[in-house]
Structure 1
């Protein structure tokens, strides 16, 4: 079994590769060539843990389980990443453990990749300006994913910490070779934007229906547990709403609040992303249509990204090989 560090994962998995892998995973899901996904959450006083599991049936079948701890105050309190954990993958035909890898890098890349996939089908193809709310590592990689699939020329970065927004804008300008700037007024930014990405730990809506311009694509990334919320429920009702996994979003995504308020039913959700990717449901159909991707984060993305890392690691000799079952060589005691 391979042990793969964060450095291994980041060297082996590019954003473009991850976008392709995640799109393929959603397509396989539409073709019923997956099992799961399932999620188990366990909140704690300062954060929480979740376990996400899924499998893909391709030329080779894989199972993956991701265990993550999510503690928003880690950086300030301990100098640690917000998200820490592992991804375990196994051969789904015989259960053989194949690899354990650091999960924070997987989570960061696969979350952004799903937004990139959604943007390909739900954003206006001529989109030039994006607003990102939440300028942590996820906000920056989200912008890179949007830039990978749309002809962006400008980004507006907003955060409760203005210094962080300015630093993120400076890095984006350098790394993505286009104009990024820190902004303070969300309403004004929305009037100028074709794309909005929200990736905050907010528990109260701050994106209001009245402020969103016709034709905007919204990638709502922050709501991934019960109680989290970024988008006014009324906006989800009037927009074209696409979810990553319906039942999961009903429990922990933006959809939870719309259902709780009785503003819509599960049947009124436009589609799961898998059905849009596979062509079973339309994506954007009008230039003035507001489209929303409710991204709660699914294990389909984790297994897709982990497979890409594992197969590249095996091909390149990367990682540390360990033997878990050494019973054939160990003496009985």
Structure 2
């Protein structure tokens, strides 16, 4: 009889050690860039109120995992959606199921890790101020990660609800709420956009020369206006962000002109691409997620939980 380790939401989040997660996500992104990941096209079953998606993947050195995630509109919060599900980790050598964990915190934190890696690789070294646009779960995960990794950099938080912006900003030692999105974005060297937008919330005119943008939201529509896309040098996790239709692909990257190139972030992290070319260049990392990042996060959560004897063992 085999056993599987079960991690609930709080244990899953606690087991995602930020430094180990950043390393694992970087490994996964590099593997995507080198075409070493096995991950089939996403599939989804559609229900009247949302969808159930499946994302299996294998990353050499990290393992084999699959995520089942539902995406449904949140009736309590107009314009917001819930992402709930589970991630199952398997032994890549013999196929044994090893662990089952909550997909919600895992997705939030691995997405924040990828966005942070993009900023480290592409933002100007002298970027002194960070703006976070959004106040929901993904924005809060981003702010919390920045609080651990970079507690001294000033962080401005903007959202539709000023009280929620204050609450989210309080997660960072130097965080404060901005008066609005434009106020937060103007002058920021790095902008993390983490919203459930159906239409652009960032305007090109607000962005200073040399800004780095990391856009991880926009499941229901574009977070960024067309002028920003036109002027930015584009980076993604995987080629399908620009070549497949939403929700797998990014709304902002649909129907790009043939001459527009999109570079994989993993190629920058591996040194195979130089990334930023000059101080005035506008760089954009557009994230749509990838199964390899779930594998990376599940690998870390499982390893940390075993080391600390966390979770519940269930007989199959």
Q: TM-score, normalised by structure 2?
A: 0.89
Residue of structure 2 aligned with 1:186, choices 165, 181, 184: 181
For residues 290 and 237 of structure 2, the distance between their equivalents in structure 1, rounded to whole angstroms, comes to 7
State the match for 2:294 in structure 1.
302
Change (3 A) 1:133 1:156: same
- What pairs with 1:250-269 in structure 2 (closer than 5 Å)? 250=243, 251-252=245-246, 255-260=250-255, 263-265=256-258, 268-269=260-261
Change (3 A) 1:323 1:258: closer
Change (3 A) 1:271 1:205: same
State the match for 2:239 in structure 1.
246
State the match for 1:105 in structure 2.
105
State the match for 1:116 in structure 2.
116
State the match for 2:225 in structure 1.
232
The answer on 1:55 being equivalent to 2:48 is no
Residue of structure 1 aligned with 2:270, choices 275, 278, 289: 278
Q: TM-score, normalised by structure 1?
A: 0.84
Residue of structure 1 aligned with 2:43, choices 36, 40, 43: 40
For residues 239 and 56 of structure 1, the distance between their equivalents in structure 2, rounded to whole angstroms, comes to 30
CA RMSD of aligned residues (A): 2.4
1:237 is displaced (CA, Å) by 2.5
For residues 127 and 14 of structure 2, the distance between their equivalents in structure 1, rounded to whole angstroms, comes to 30
State the match for 1:331 in structure 2.
none
State the match for 2:173 in structure 1.
177
The answer on 1:319 being equivalent to 2:311 is yes
- Superposed CA deviations along residues 300-322 of structure 1, whole A, max 9, x for unmatched, are 11000001111222233322222
For residues 76 and 303 of structure 2, the distance between their equivalents in structure 1, rounded to whole angstroms, comes to 32
CA contact (8 A) 1:128 1:152 kept: no
- What pairs with 1:137-148 in structure 2 (closer than 5 Å)? 137-146=137-146
For residues 284 and 223 of structure 1, the distance between their equivalents in structure 2, rounded to whole angstroms, comes to 24
Change (3 A) 1:97 1:69: same
For residues 254 and 215 of structure 1, the distance between their equivalents in structure 2, rounded to whole angstroms, comes to 26
State the match for 1:17 in structure 2.
20
Q: Extract unaligned runs of 5+ from structure 2.
A: none
Change (3 A) 1:62 1:75: farther
CA contact (8 A) 1:65 1:87 kept: yes
The answer on 1:219 being equivalent to 2:203 is no
- Superposed CA deviations along residues 185-214 of structure 1, whole A, max 9, x for unmatched, are 323332221111111111112212222111
Change (3 A) 1:203 1:212: same
Change (3 A) 1:257 1:316: closer
CA contact (8 A) 1:126 1:150 kept: no
Higher relative contact order (CA 8 A, sep 6+): 2
